[in-house]
Chains A and B, each alone.
Chain A
Amino acid sequence: MFDDKFLPQFEQIAGYIHDGGAVAIQQILHAGRYGGIDLGYCVQPSVVPQTLPHFRQPREVSKEQIKAMITQHAEAAKRAIKAGFDGTEITSFMGYLLANFNSKFTNRRTDEYGGSVENRGRFMRELIYAIKEAQGDDHPLIVRLNGAELMDAHGGNTEDECFELMKMAGDAGVDMISVTVGWQEAPESSIGRDIPPGHWNRLAVRAKQLLPNIPIAFGVRLPNPVMANQNIADGEFDYWEVCRPLLAEPELLHKAAEDRLDEAKHCLGCMNCLSRLFRDLPYLCTNNPTLGHEVEPEYHITPAVVKKKVMIIGAGPSGIECAIAATKRGHDVTIYEKSNSIGGSLVGYAAYDMANKEDLRSQISYYKTMLDKLGIKVNLNTDVNPKLMRSILHQYDVAVVAAGAGVDTRGLPIPEQEGVLVTAADVAGGKVKVGQKVVVLGGGKIGLTLAEGLSQTGREVTVVEKEKRIAGDVIPTWKWRHTSWVEQLKIKTLTLSKPIKIGASGVTIVNEKGEETFLQADTVIAASPRRPNQELFQEFEFMVDELHGIGDALVPRGLLQAIHEGYRLGVRI
């Protein structure tokens, strides 16, 4: 918004929003402490170095620059209104420029813009006055403000100070306040799956009580529209804000309005979206393969020119995603599943998940609904093997191997007693009884998830990992959680170690120095390495016209790849 040359594009955006029947608000954001990635430096009220190495080192802004920034914000607001937006929003959360002035963590100035809350809030007040004057009374101005910075350890604002600033914004004439939580640098969770939905609502309630005459908007870790609706009805806040759930399900609001929420995909709170952004990569959503590819025909579901009969082997996320997309295109799809339920390894993973089990289970519920509504045939308890394939030869035009992955136990010592060594899938699927003392072989995401879940039930768990570190295959946003949970639960981890003997009463391991240790165990769980279930590829090569593979059956990875590959194949078969 810094130049008139962008007006045509912003006019288009405002037009799209209005065409959709919504009010268009333009956020005007100076990234402050988190900006200047390409410049090599950032600007903020005082020189306070970064605590995250992604960001650039700061330069202090002069009073002249402050005045110029205020003018630039006001001009941007004027431009937004000119482009057709109904109002504007400025934002003091996550540590952007306005937050840098408001917070005593980053504002250590000794002039009239620093020191007391009154002084620190001066920049905000001047911004509000300037923008209100620039855009006129007919256009609302919203300000996003932290109800909690979560930066106490760094000397950030207390909650009381946050609300003092909120009051100040109200007094300065702002038309709505959006209550938010946290900074990029905050050392604790605020919006991840490990935070229960509704956890932060108390901050909105406090804002509403403090400023009963100003509309309050809120949406932090509140992904469920039904819950949000109830919160509004209860008077906790006035407007629900939603971002990540719309990345996962762009039709969320329409589906909610049409009472079709069972057809809506959920935001899983995995934070893949933001972790990508902070690696200077485009947004991506685990649950929505089309995000960022909306204008690419290759990602669109279009009617198939040739309608085909498709068999999909495996009812895990990759197989079902493929089935849904292919069915929507007009293909006749049948899924074959070896076990007695759909969901694949996601079912077991959800059962042991330390964060919010319901997030992952909602995915399985969604799949059940869609399979039912689209009339996709699912043959459970059906092992697809060459014999079955010969019996149904020529019934299908396409076969898709979505059989997932198993644990490769071939590299492990042969157990001296039957039943001591079990696989992660056996445990996750509830097929085996797990003893009190457990050794998990493999400290990747599967081994850690099982170890954490078992430890939570009071079992004594040790994880043995051959690599230098645990959680090697865990996405960056979730790695610290696993290591933190492992510490909290006092799970013993032995890295650079491998088993050399699996006996009746435990495992003998050897470390990189050649030292042997015996670990007592009632149950030994093999959780890595994973091996793709690829056997069917060669068997079926001359049995069907088209043969494809997707998800873990190609390369064992994770939910995102399963969903994306399943969808991408479904839209091009």
Chain B
Amino acid sequence: MVSTADEMFLDTEGWQAILDRRQEIFTDMLPGASLGILPKKNFDSPVGTMLTWVRQADRMEVAYQSFTGFENTSVDLLMVVDDETLEYLHSQAQDNAFNEMKEQIRNGNVLLYVMKTLDELLDLGYEELIEVLKIPVLGACR
């Protein structure tokens, strides 16, 4: 039973359940494509832990790696979340967590950073995820 935000962050099975419920989103991704989730409190610390979703040959899998700054990260997308949002997203495991993620990105509770260009993301097979999360791809169009 996980109850605190820290426990939820480290709940591999819980996050894997969220991914497994919507594995079709990741079908077109190339092996190695990866997305990171970083607690806001780890954002400015010299070394923190980052939850990652990494595309393996047959599915998207949960893993953890150290975060030592934007410059050093190898993920394609990085979501920075506060404890409250993390808890909320984790609690959506049995529901549509991706729809909730989209809402939280739109509301600014999830800060989404893109570490690759749009062409690179599309080449890596991110089209479906971009659509599901409604990630804006253009500037100055609002």
Contact = CB atoms under 8 A, between A and B. Distances in A.
B69 interface: yes
Interface in A29-77: 34, 47-57
A51 B142 contact: no
Interface stretch (B25-33, B52-60, B116-124): B116-124
Given A153-B107, A153-B108, A54 B138 contact: yes
Nearest to B131: A469
A57 B115 contact: yes
A105 to B, nearest CB: 10
Size band of the interface chain A makes with B: 35 or more
A50 B140 contact: no
Nearest to A475: B141
B142 A191 contact: yes
B69 to A, nearest CB: 7
B137 A54 contact: yes
B111 interface: yes
A186 interface: yes
A400 interface: no
A57 B77 CA distance: 12
Nearest to A49: B113
Contact of A47 (B69, B116, B140): B69
Interface string B52-82: 0000000000000000011100000010000
B115 A186 contact: no
Interface in B98-142: 106-109, 111-118, 120-121, 131, 134-142
A192 B116 contact: no
B70 A154 contact: no
Given A49-B113, A53-B117, A56-B117, A275 B70 contact: no
Contacts of B142: 182, 186-192, 271, 477
Contacts of A154: 108, 111
A23 interface: no
B120 to A, nearest CB: 8
B141 A476 contact: yes
A56 B117 CA distance: 7
Contacts of B107: 153
A483 B103 CA distance: 12
A47 B137 contact: no
B139 A185 contact: yes
A184 B138 CA distance: 8
Nearest to A188: B142
Contacts of B139: 34, 52, 54-55, 184-185, 274, 278
A9 B32 CA distance: 49
B70 A49 contact: yes
Contact of A53 (B71, B78, B116, B131): B116
A53 B137 contact: yes
A49 B141 contact: no
Interface in A285-337: none
A279 interface: yes
A53 B135 CA distance: 9
Contacts of B114: 49-53
Interface in A261-282: 271, 274-275, 277-279
A187 B106 contact: yes
Contacts of B78: 49
A480 interface: yes
B114, B135, B139: which has the most chain A beta carbons within 10 Å?
Answer: B139
Given A47-B69, A50-B113, A279 B138 contact: yes
A39 B109 CA distance: 32
Contacts of A188: 142
Contacts of B141: 192, 271, 274-275, 278, 476-477
A94 interface: yes
Contacts of A279: 138
A50 B121 CA distance: 13
Contacts of B109: 153
A512 interface: no
Contacts of A52: 114, 136-139
A191 B141 CA distance: 8
A192 B114 CA distance: 24
A484 B33 CA distance: 28
Contacts of B112: 51
Interface string A145-157: 0000000111000
B115 A476 contact: no
A47 B71 contact: yes
A83 B116 CA distance: 40
Nearest to B77: A53
Given A53-B118, A53-B121, A154-B108, A476 B138 contact: yes
A34 B108 CA distance: 21
A250 B78 CA distance: 43
Which 5 A-B pairs have CB atoms at the shortest separation, nearest pair first?
Answer: A153-B108, A184-B139, A53-B118, A49-B113, A477-B141
Given A55-B117, A274-B141, 14 more contacts: A49-B70, A49-B113, A53-B137, A56-B117, A57-B115, A153-B111, A182-B142, A184-B140, A187-B136, A191-B142, A192-B141, A274-B139, A279-B138, A476-B137
8 contacts: A47-B71, A55-B139, A153-B111, A154-B111, A192-B142, A278-B138, A476-B137, A480-B136
